[in-house]
């Protein structure tokens, strides 16, 4: 299969105009000694039909499909209305570059502006950027931003923060002289306030907390923010399940200074972990320290409203090594999907969606806790996932459930050795009562 558009005659005439005898002559400036003088060792070219067969063949090796899944933990199976796929597949959205020429990019720019507005509304803060790669790198960017804002070099990371987010933060700060210290959780699954108080000091740039946290438990963001502010540190609120913001109070209104996280939930498919959608919102006063691209509103000479990428003096192509971040390409197409998703569900739809998640999870939690030997691990309120403790080792339970066609949850032991035998069970609006009952019945059979 070739995607070239030149005829043999075109090639001949073009080579003649350039003034070379052959295509090979165009590469005369490459030293002969390093030229590759053999064909690349790649499989032979495929036609479209053959490609479909090959790729679908690889896809069939994924046994995942066909299982009833209760996985979540920062990546959620939510319904995606058909308009999201349909509209976001338009070539006018899929195939342009970053909107550097605003006059021919008003579609993309206006959508970024709408996205920023929606993120501000969800977060309860003044400003938001055009997106970041994902929740994990968004968390890392927020940590670096907090260091710039406060000039301090220590961050407190909740142990209940997504384990991968914590790992990515550690990778990012390793070479920058920032220290990360973990804050433990209590029996309710929330950050232990006494532990937090003991760790806050004059070096602390930020308290990084997630709500709902990795155990599905809703944190007391107001108390955490007050504690952070008491030490003149920033309160950084991470949201890994953006649907929760349809119902939970906006973190910005509870005192968070930066709200960042993962918005995959809002119309972006699971797709084995990517591409997803990082977002970041903050207060106006921190505008100059915010990472990432931003669209802003302005006018042309006739006074007509239009949108442009703006405040680029924070960015790498102007400021080079003094930029607020090295990010340029971000997640525009995922942000478009989220924008369509949010505008389709709208004010009432997103709230109802969030409420259904709460209800399905509450029902599932009650059903599972009624299975002999199964206990809820944490007492705190949950959004759409919860932790259960089982009387048998999780790998064995997981395997037995799998034999019944069910992926029952996510074993926590690898990330939390202290939670041996515990699993995170996620229940979104996509799970029906029958499916939840089937999980409970199967678990009972497996454990008996």
Partner 1 sequence: MIKEIREPLIFEISEAGKRAGELPALDVPEKKDALAGVALRRELEGFPEVSETEVTRHFTRLSQKNYCVDMGIYPLGSCTMKYNPKINERLSAHPAFAASHPLASEDLVQGNLEVLKRLENYLSEIAGMDAFTLHPAAGAHGELVGMMLIRAALEARGDARKHVLIPDSAHGTNPSSAHICGYAVREIKSNENGTIDLAGLEREMTDEVAALMVTNPNTLGVFESDILRITEIVHAKGGLVYMDGANMNALTGIVRPGDMGVDVLHINLHKTFSTPHGGGGPGSGPVGVKKELVPFLPVPVIGERNGRYVLELDRPGTIGRVRGHFGHFSVIVRALCYILSLGPRGVREIAEFAVLNANYIRKSLEGDYHLKYTTPSMHECVFSDKLQKEHGVTNLDIAKRLIDYGVHPPTMSFPLIVHGALMIEPTETESRRDLDLFIDAMKAIAREAKESPEVLHAAPHVTYVGRLDEVNAAKNPVLRWEKKP
**Interface with partner 1 in residues 350-409 (CB under 8 A):** 350-353, 356, 358-360, 362-363, 381, 398, 407
Residue (202 or 241) nearer to partner 1, CB: 241
Both tokens of 317, joined, read 């192509």
Q: Could you tell me if 352 and 238 are in contact, meaning their C-beta atoms sit under 8 angstroms apart?
A: no
> Smallest distance from the beta carbon of 366 to partner 1, in angstroms?
8
Mask of contacts with partner 1, 31-50, x by CB under 8 A?
Answer: x-xxxx--xxxxxxxx-x--
Residue (204 or 339) nearer to partner 1, CB: 339
Query: What 8-state DSSP symbol labels residue 228?
Result: H
Looking at residues 182 to 201 of the shown chain, list those that interact with partner 1 (rule: CB under 8 A): none
> Smallest distance from the beta carbon of 296 to partner 1, in angstroms?
4
CA distances to 147, 148, 180 from 154, rounded to whole Å, are 8, 12, 6
> Smallest distance from the beta carbon of 361 to partner 1, in angstroms?
8
d(CA 168, CA 138): 10
d(CA 363, CA 369): 10
**Binding to partner 1 by residue 149, rule CB under 8 A?**
no
Looking at residues 101 to 120 of the shown chain, list those that interact with partner 1 (rule: CB under 8 A): 101-108, 110-114, 116-118, 120
Q: Could you tell me if 405 and 412 are in contact, meaning their C-beta atoms sit under 8 angstroms apart?
A: no
Residue of 8, 17, 151, 372 interacting with partner 1 (CB under 8 A): 17
**Binding to partner 1 by residue 67, rule CB under 8 A?**
yes
116-119, Cβ contacts within 8 angstroms, sequence gap of 24 or more: 116/294, 116/295, 118/338, 118/339, 118/342, 118/343, 119/263, 119/279, 119/281
Residue (25 or 201) nearer to partner 1, CB: 25
Looking at residues 256 to 295 of the shown chain, list those that interact with partner 1 (rule: CB under 8 A): 262, 269-276, 287, 293-295
Phi, psi torsion values for 155, nearest 5 degrees: -125, 145
d(CA 90, CA 414): 42
3-state secondary structure of 9: helix
3-state secondary structure of 392: coil
Both tokens of 103, joined, read 């006059």
Residue (194 or 318) nearer to partner 1, CB: 318
Residue of 180, 184, 306, 400 interacting with partner 1 (CB under 8 A): 306
Stretch that binds partner 1, among 146-154, 226-234, 385-393, 425-433 (CB under 8 A): 425-433
**Binding to partner 1 by residue 333, rule CB under 8 A?**
yes
Both tokens of 145, joined, read 């931003």
Binding residue count for partner 1, defined by CB under 8 A: 201
Stretch that binds partner 1, among 129-137, 200-208, 368-376, 439-447 (CB under 8 A): 129-137
d(CA 48, CA 264): 30
Residue of 201, 226, 285, 300 interacting with partner 1 (CB under 8 A): 300
> Smallest distance from the beta carbon of 342 to partner 1, in angstroms?
7
């Amino acid at each position: 299969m070739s995607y070239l558009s030149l005829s043999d005659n075109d090639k001949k005439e073009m080579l003649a105009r350039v003034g070379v005898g052959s295509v090979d002559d165009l590469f005369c400036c490459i030293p002969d000694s390093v030229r590759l003088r053999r064909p690349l060792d790649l499989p032979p070219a495929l036609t479209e039909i053959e490609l479909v067969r090959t790729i679908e063949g690889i896809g069939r090796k994924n046994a995942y499909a066909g299982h009833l899944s209760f996985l979540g933990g920062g990546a959620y199976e939510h319904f995606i209305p058909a308009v999201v796929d349909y509209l976001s597949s338009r070539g006018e959205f899929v195939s342009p570059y970053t909107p550097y020429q605003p006059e021919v990019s008003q579609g993309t720019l206006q959508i970024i502006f709408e996205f920023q507005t929606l993120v501000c509304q969800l977060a309860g803060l003044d400003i938001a950027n055009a997106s970041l790669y994902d929740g994990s790198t968004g968390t890392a960017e927020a940590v670096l931003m907090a260091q710039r804002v406060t000039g301090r070099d220590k961050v407190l990371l909740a142990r209940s923060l997504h384990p991968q987010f914590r790992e990515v933060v550690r990778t990012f700060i390793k070479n920058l002289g920032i220290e990360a210290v973990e804050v433990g959780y209590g029996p309710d699954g929330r950050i232990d306030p006494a532990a937090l108080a003991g760790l806050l000091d004059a070096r602390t740039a930020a308290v990084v907390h997630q709500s709902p946290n990795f155990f599905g438990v809703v944190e007391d963001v107001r108390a955490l923010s007050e504690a952070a502010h008491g030490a003149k540190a920033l309160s950084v609120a991470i949201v890994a399940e953006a649907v929760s913001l349809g119902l939970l109070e906006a973190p910005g209104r509870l005192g968070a200074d930066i709200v960042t996280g993962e918005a995959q939930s809002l119309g972006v498919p699971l797709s084995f972990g990517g591409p997803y959608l990082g977002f970041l919102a903050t207060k106006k006063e921190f505008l100059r320290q915010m990472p990432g691209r931003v669209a802003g509103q302005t006018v042309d000479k006739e006074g007509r409203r239009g949108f442009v990428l703006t405040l680029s003096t924070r960015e790498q192509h102007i400021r080079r090594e003094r930029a607020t971040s090295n990010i340029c390409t971000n997640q525009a197409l995922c942000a478009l999907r989220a924008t369509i998703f949010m505008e389709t569900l709208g004010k009432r739809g997103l709230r109802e969606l969030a409420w259904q998640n709460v209800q399905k999870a509450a029902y599932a939690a009650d059903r599972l806790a009624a299975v002999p030997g199964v206990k809820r691990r944490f007492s705190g309120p949950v959004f759409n996932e919860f932790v259960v403790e089982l009387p048998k080792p999780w790998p064995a339970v997981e395997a037995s459930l799998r034999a019944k066609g069910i992926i029952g949850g996510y074993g926590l032991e690898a990330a939390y050795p202290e939670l041996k035998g515990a699993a995170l069970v996620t229940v979104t609006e996509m799970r029906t009562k029958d499916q939840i009952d089937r999980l409970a019945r199967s678990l009972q059979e497996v454990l008996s």
